[in-house]
Amino acid sequence: MSSLISRRSFGKSLGAGLGVALLGGNSVLAQKRLRNISGFRYEVWEDYFNNLKHGAILADTKNRVLHYWSEDEAIYHLYPVSVPLTPELTRLGYTEVINKKENPSWTPTQAMLKRNPDWPTYMPPGPDNPMGTHALYLSWQYYRIHGTHDTRKIGRRASQGCIGLYNEDIATLFDLAEVGTQVLLI
């Protein structure tokens, strides 16, 4: 039986591993899992936010990980993500969730169409839609935190500006995050 974990299951394993580690357990499996999570590490929300009103999301483009804290601090999740292809496509700073959509449609921006003239001007929801199954719309025009059907993108510089998650992870985050959730991209 392999002790390695997939990128998809690292969040569950991280939670189990941290639980054992924080409780002082001596589990060899937990120690292996803690060392096998692509260098993702626990962050303290106070380093980035003044409060947790409506919860908080930290998207770390360098480490390609998204952190979520609930308002009552009862929930903390880490998710592997895809990040923008280049720094020019990356917007950094504070924003917030202003809308949430299940099965979002996709309309590429004019800049995207200029870079990729073969792309369609509109794509309805479905398995070919690059927005995946859920999307959190940010106060910055055109920027989203969304799922992806192309799981090869996760953990890579692969997006046109958005933060992408596995569809399973964005579904969980979608249920946790509310309109008004604070977001910081670093």
Kindly list the catalytic residues: 146, 162
User: Which residue is associated with the tokens 């997939």?
Assistant: 6
Hey, which bits of 27-92 come out as E strands? 56-60, 65-69, 76-80, 83-84
CA distances (Å), 167 to each of 13, 31, 50, 64, 124, in order?
18, 28, 30, 16, 17
Residue 167, SS3?
A: helix
Q: Supply 144's token pair.
A: 């989203």
Radius of gyration of the chain (CA): 17
Element (H, E) at 96: strand 93-102
Q: What are the beta bridge partners of residue 137?
A: 99, 144
Quote the CA–CA distance of 157 and 144 in Å, as a whole number: 15
For 12, the enclosing helix (H) or strand (E) is: helix 10-22
